[in-house]
Amino acid sequence: MDSIDNSVKFQGQFEMSRNANDIQGLDKLRRAAQNGDDAALEEAAKQFEAIFVQMMLKSMRKAQDVMADKDSPFNSEQVKFYRDMHDQQLASDMSNNGSIGLADIIMQQLSKGGDGFTPASVIRNDGNLSDINRHSVQSIKQAQQTVLPDASSTGAGFKDAAFSGQQNFMDALYPVAQRVAQELDIEPKALLAQAAVETGWGQYMMHTDKGNTHNLFGIKAGKAWQGDTARVNTLEFEQGLATPKKAEFRAYGSFDDAMQDYVSFVKENPRYQQALKNTNDPKRYFEELQQAGYATDPAYAQKIISVLNSDSLSNYQP
């Protein structure tokens, strides 16, 4: 009997809240929703639909006002005031009658369970988007392997993390960078900064079905390259705009091989000779490297210097 009395009580509160000018009715709706009654959720969905309909009516009225006769007595501010009040109430009545149907969808989406609808709590997943993306990548990869069993022979690649964080990235690569930096007469941390920009501190390393490609510097596989490759998505800047493309990149057996190949790549390419004359000045070196066409990103050198001067790298002690 109490449940019936409460239902009747809430129903009366809901009917009051549908009056667009009854602020107390809206407050009663809020308190009813706090009691956990499903009817409160349904009414809240209708209120949201009413707001949506009211916004549509308001936009239509604005378009009508542009063409209205400014001298007409029906175009006064007083008339518009009462017209807006009427539209507000009309929106509430339309929502209550189910004219649009948006409230039903909201109700099903926000309820704890519903046929054919995923609860909002599941969709949010506590904001853990990384897990969602990781599962999506794995699902896509499995589907590709099922449909295209020989995909591994094409060198199809993807990007994944190869280090647990910035500290792990620097600890693992600094000894290698220190050895090869002597051949370029450049600061080892400068090479780490460039590798950090190219790979997002090792969180977006190129991989194939064989594993990590160890490509730290985004060096593409040209016609002269005889080693393994990985075909992955990349961004190329064309006339200042980032354009997604697929490209073949070099794959190495180790980070030592990748670092050493970077040194050979820069030293043997005539276009980078001016950059090699300024290795004692990392800022000038990367600016010359960028101007010579090493990267299409117009802010490439600036990004590297920013990482080089960051607290993480500048304060790093091997």
Task: Read off the tokens for 184.
Answer: 């370029």
Between CA 155 and CA 163, with CA 160 as vertex, the angle to 5 degrees is 125
Residue tagged active-site, from 261, 268, 281, 311: 261
- Give the torsion sign (CA, 262, 296, 273, 192): negative
Annotated catalytic residue, options 236, 248, 256, 281: 236
Q: Which residues contact 280 (CB under 8 A, 6 or more apart)?
A: 185, 186
Task: Tell me the residue type at 306.
Answer: S
C-alpha–C-alpha distance, residues 138 and 146, integer Å: 12
Which residue stretches of 97-127 are H helix?
A: 102-110, 120-124
Diameter of the chain by CA atoms?
91
- How far is the C-alpha of 103 from the C-alpha of 115, rounded, in Å? 16
The Cα 169–Cα 81 span in angstroms is 64
Q: Look up 261 and say whether it is catalytic.
A: yes
Distance CA 170, CA 163 (A): 9
CA distance 74 to 26: 31
Tokens at 50, concatenated: 């009413």
To the query of whether residue 15 is one of the catalytic residues in this protein, the response is no
The alpha carbon dihedral of 279, 280, 281, 282 has a sign of positive
Own/partner contacts of 73-79, CB < 8 Å, gap of 24 or more, are none
Distance CA 38, CA 9 (A): 14
Residues 6+ away with beta carbon under 8 Å from 303: 197, 297
**Which residues are catalytically annotated?**
236, 261
